[in-house]
Structure 1
Amino acid sequence: MPLFQKAVFHTTVANLPDLPADAQREIAFAGRSNAGKSSAINSLANHNRLAYVSKTPGRTQHLNYFVLDPGKYFVDLPGYGYAKAPEDIRAQWEGLLAPYLRFRLPLVGLVLIMDSRHPMTDLDRQMIAWFSQTGKPIHVLLSKADKLNRLEQAQTLRDVQAELEKISDNASLQLFSSLSKLGVAEAETLLGDWLGMESKPYSLPPVGLRGEKVARPKNRKAMGWSARKSGGVGKPGQNKKPPAKG
């Protein structure tokens, strides 16, 4: 059974005081609108309608919490790139997102979804540079990878890896497809480690997983979304047979 099979919707948060008090560890999912964020959450949970997939940019206006195990959560963040959203809604999102990402103690890492055909937009770079200051890991899912051929996939991995190394020393990435399920098992293993949940061991290295790095947290204060100065996969046990009685 997939590790996050038991995921269910828990609550929607519009104000910081309403964040779940029982949270022990949580992973935030971010990405440009229509990059495939909701589809990625659905694939990891093996549930077609867990996170609502919308064709309207910026539909998700709050933090949507999905409980995986007691105290363990996925958090679906508002999609960025919401140019058509009213000014008051954009202000609300920024007032909620910035302090959440900067100060939320149970937050153990950020999953950033990018369309593999159009990765590393200016907003993606800004999010990576800003969040890197927390010292927490970032994992990039290059979504819709089924739309690329093998050569294009390999080239995209190289290009994005090169850019990531310029702006963060604690980021990893992989190819991902909600349609073909490419990379779902690898992402499950990594995120299960972040959450302290037991995951199925793999005998071979994850295919398309690049740039794993570990960095110590750094005491840097984020100065806002425009900050540019920059500021993570784990182990199976062994089962031994008891000695034969003789």
Structure 2
Amino acid sequence: AGAGWQLLAVPGGYFQLAGYQHYSQAGDVAFATELARDWGVAVVPVSAFYHDGYDPGLVRFCFAKELVTLEAAAARMPDFTVSLVQTDLHWHDHAANRAALAEQLAAALAGPGLTDLIVLPEMFTTGFSMAAVAQAEPGEGPTLNWLREQAARYDAVITGSVMVTEAGRYYNRLLWVRPDGSYSAYDKRHLFRMAGEHQVYSAGAERLVEEWRGWRIQPLVCYDLRFPVWSRNLAEAPYDLLL
């Protein structure tokens, strides 16, 4: 229960029913599949016991196992590794920054399976700059392609913000890129007025809460953290980790 499971009282037997909503809002079959594929832990979705496929949001564990097997399963499930990358940036040199970050990642991560989430700095291809007219790239530009390569190489989500131009506007946009190449985006909501950021970039209007490997994560960009109402943990869009 300390790992976040909602355990149903079991007076006897070899099975334990557990709610998993702390980790996922997916259906029980989808969650059981993810648990087996990503964590190597097999459970039974309880909807399998209903003739009409009713899904009560529960999975069934069998604990008629050796203690060492149960301990190994418990050790796998709650872990989530975040890799934070801090580095000197080459001012306004997109290619040099991507190359330097790729080298740094290769030195820190020998291959896939060592981390779940890689976090890069704000405006990691340019440095924090107001030169959006000259430096911004399309959302579907070379940096997104580079992020896709890194996510696939390390089998992890990789995220960070870049200058983006879209429909005649500029955004300080966080890209959330998954190993399969799909991605989500979050435009920085609270622009840093003391540096004139609000005069160059358009503010975002939507939060982003992403579910990844059993965790719900809300990313922010820099100055956003100064505004607690924006990062409030809402019942309709809860998160486990504020990033």
Query: Over alpha carbons, which structure has the higher Rg?
Result: 2
**Greater RCO, CA 8 A, separation 6+:** 1
